[in-house]
Amino acid sequence: MDISNLIQTVLIYSLPVLFAITVHEAAHGYAARHFGDSTAWMMGRITLNPMKHIDPVGTILMPLLLYFATSGAFLFGYAKPVPVRFDKLRNPKRDMIWVALAGPGVNLMQALAWGVLLYLLLGMGVNERFFLEMCKAGMLVNVVMFVFNLFPLPPLDGGRILVGLLPWRYAVMLSRIEPWGFFIVMALVISGVVSTLWMRPLMSLTFSLLELLLTPLSFLI
């Protein structure tokens, strides 16, 4: 493995990944506080300080090990989840949806922001590959986080959104999966089910949406 290429890849992706996970988790905490749960606020987790959200194993060690083990073909990681007491929300079932949507929502906005920055740099005649690749990495990282976190299985955001949308009887049944949800999701990821049936189709749709939103800017530039 080319160490210089690895270092360059790490440098290109470091800032986008830090922003993606930090704002994602802070958005959950901010939304929870807005709807009545101040747990994350009292624990100092509603912050843009990445050190508050980085998990040494899930954010650093696991992605690096997977990168070396699969030669970059498969990467996965996670941050420290922001603590949310859904029972403290003013309307737990309804507000749970908005708290869960906050994280993926800001990832979609960040993907758009990186796209805008890419077009602005090109419009100003900036041809430095490092900065252009960082913008593309920012779009990719945030689209991946947006789509993956919407997978409809707890404890992912999509699962909590689905729990909030389903009638009580089915919501309770689905919520009981949460203690084993992480392992189920990992099995589906490793088997390729998530990638084939969820990630690729929805990422394609998301990039099409971003392209549509960026079209006016591309014409101006």
Query: Is 178 annotated in the active site?
Result: no
Q: Among candidates 53, 46, 52, which has minimal Cα distance to 30?
A: 46
Contact yes or no for 76/66 (Cβ under 8 A): yes
Smallest CA-to-CA distance from 97 within 159, 45, 141, 15 is with: 159
Q: Is 75 helix (H, G, I), strand (E, B) or coil?
A: coil
Question: Do you find a cis peptide bond into 155, omega within 30 degrees of 0?
Answer: yes
Residues 63/64/66/67 CA torsion (nearest 10 deg): 110
Two structure tokens written together for 56: 């040494």
Query: Could you list the active site residues?
Result: 25
